[in-house]
A = this chain, B = another copy of it.
Amino acid sequence: MLSAEEVEQIIYSGLPAVAGLGLKVEQAGERRSRLRQPFNENMIRPGGTLSGPTMMGLADAAMYAAILGALGRLEMAVTQNLNINFLRRPAQRDLLAECRIIRLGRRSVVLEVTLFSDGDEEPVAHVTGIYALP
Interface residues of A (CB under 8 A from B): 13-17, 20, 42-43, 45-47, 49, 51-54, 56-57, 60, 76, 78-88, 102-103, 105, 107-108, 110, 112, 122-123, 126, 128, 130, 132
Contact = CB atoms under 8 A, between A and B. Distances in A.
Nearest to A89: B78
Nearest to A75: B47
- Where chain A touches its partner, the secondary structure class is mixed
Number of copies: 4
B128 A83 contact: yes
B46 A57 contact: no
Nearest to A83: B83
A12 to B, nearest CB: 11
Contacts of A15: 45, 51
Contacts of A53: 17, 53-54, 56-57, 60
14 contacts: A14-B45, A14-B46, A15-B45, A17-B42, A17-B43, A52-B56, A52-B57, A52-B79, A53-B54, A56-B82, A83-B83, A83-B84, A83-B128, A126-B128
